[in-house]
Amino acid sequence: MLCAISGEAPQVPVVSPKSGSVFEKRLIEAYIAENGKDPVNGEELTTDDLIDIKSQHVVRPRPPTLTSIPSLLSIFQEEWDALALETYTLQQNLAQTRRELSAALYQHDAAVRVIARVTKERDEARDALSKVTIGASRSAGAGEAMQVDSEGLPPAVLERVENTQASLSKIRRKRPVPEGWATSDSISAYKPLETSEPLYPGSRALSVNSTGELALVGGIDGVVGVYSLTQKSVVQTFKTDGPVTDATWAGNKAIVGSATGSVKVFENGSEVASFASHAGEVTALAVHATGDIVASVGVDKSYVLYDLSTNTVITQIFTDAGLLSVHIHPDGHLLAAGAANGQIKIFDIKSGTIAAEFAMPGPVKALYFSENGTFLGAVAAQSTTVSIWDLRSSKETKVLDTGSYVNSIFWDYTGQFLLTGGPSGITVQQFDKSAKQWSEPLRSAVPAVAVAFGSAAQSIVSLNDAGVVTVLAQS
């Protein structure tokens, strides 16, 4: 056994339960005293967590005075220990600095592309303005239309949004729990039943269609697969132009966002539309209640709405920070976007204006509206908690601590069960409306980067970063 810090055989070996690594006791205690975390994976660690390893104890001779060679060697050993600890810390700091520099360079590149696009549009606008003739009788359709950022929705789209909101808001609170829906007792009995082979490396995207039979799965190789949960195999694949960052179903259409900034629409195995409105990575997608309007957000500080019925861009709204997550209110009148500066921005979809802002302790990596239209669940990066915001009072009414990092959340159709997934496992949090209390009917050790409920919440579908799809249900 070798110490993970010094690389030497430890005299007093201990093991960290957080990473499973072996350390020299004096070195890890010095590191914990300074940093308070495991040096291998960065998780919180205390000296009380360390586990001693029994090994044959060799009695060292008592060191003589400092004038002797053995005593000098002992001093050299102590100096070497300090140097090894310092070198390890410097290596970690160097890796962190490289990551920060890479992110800064990417943001700079995205900013340069935004400036270039805006400059080009400005020049086109000036050119078009210079050609305008007062009193001319040219038809409105003549010439090439100039693409500008819209401040609101077109009348036809606005009418669809308003009609959808009016019809859904009337029945939402009176809607009963569908027959055959999962209960707390049935969910508590869920266990992993089916596990696929690794499909796509570096997977981040998972979406289950309305029937609960097909799942979209995508990874860093730019391939998106349609995985049949009933046949337990990939039945169809699509290819996009970069690492897949998110994917979702809009009816029978597959919508895919990539790190290159593109949003592509696939139907019946073919690409039917492609958009490149974002100047940088597309970070998340969401589908509107109409079923044919899709939203995307990106690091270029904007969200874009697309009309799938005409395969056109409806509007693009810019804000003051890069956006990492997005979800649309069940009634379709609000869009929530999670920003890299820790702000949750609630936009009025019809006008594109900000209706409210909530503050989170870090970059907002996941958002999900409850189906009752009242609550919004949010997760900050490197957080073990889910914040529940009440839209009526604009206050954080509950903080659910899952005990481990959360990557993804998903609220069921009835608004009772909030599903969370992270590297340490899956939980289901239940809200009892009558008692106004939360409980946890399920905790499973299946790691996940994305999670979703199956049909009628009778199963849970999870995806890990190796592209393995796992289905949890009653045996």
Break the chain into its structural domains and give their ranges. Answer: 13-52, 155-474
Find residue 344's DSSP bridge partners.
338, 358
Residues 6+ apart with CB under 8 A from 8: 2, 24
CA gap 393, 380 in Å, rounded: 21
Q: What is the enclosing helix (H) or strand (E) of 124?
A: helix 69-130
Structure tokens at 37: 């975390």
Find residue 345's DSSP bridge partners.
337, 357
- Residue-wise pLDDT for 139-188, tens only, equals 333 333 333 344 578 888 999 999 988 888 877 767 788 899 999 999 99
* Superfamily of chain region 13-52: Zinc/RING finger domain, C3HC4 (zinc finger) (3.30.40.10)
Say how many Å lie between the first and final Cα of the chain, rounded.
Answer: 42
CB distance 45 to 14 below 8 Å: no
- Residue 78: per-residue pLDDT: 86
Kindly report the CA angle at 145 between 142 and 147, in degrees rounded to 5? 175
Coil, strand, or helix at residue 267?
strand
DSSP line for 20-57: --EEEHHHHHHHHHHH-B-TTT--B--GGG-EE---PP
According to CATH, the topology of domain 155-474 is Methylamine Dehydrogenase; Chain H (2.130.10)
Q: What are the C-alpha distances in Å from 185 to residues 105, 418, 462? A: 50, 15, 20
Which letter does DSSP use for residue 102 in this model? H
- Residue 72: per-residue pLDDT: 82
DSSP line for 278-346: -SS-EEEEEE-TTSSEEEEEETTSEEEEEETTTTEEEEEEE-SS-EEEEEE-TTSSEEEEEETTSEEEE
- Residue 137: per-residue pLDDT: 33
Backbone angles phi, psi at 160, to 5 degrees: -65, -40
CB distance 290 to 282 below 8 Å: no
For 191, counting Cβ atoms within 10 Å of its Cβ (0-12 exposed, 13-18 middle, 19+ buried), the class is exposed
How many Cα neighbours within 13 Å face the side chain of 53? 19
Identify which of 305, 300, 296, 343 has the alpha carbon closest to the alpha carbon of residue 322. Answer: 300
CA gap 46, 172 in Å, rounded: 48
Q: What is the mean pLDDT of each run of 10 residues along the chain (475 residues)?
A: 85 90 91 90 90 71 64 85 90 92 92 92 79 39 38 84 86 80 94 93 92 93 93 93 94 94 93 93 95 95 94 93 95 95 94 93 96 92 95 92 94 94 95 90 95 94 94 92
- Residue 460: per-residue pLDDT: 96
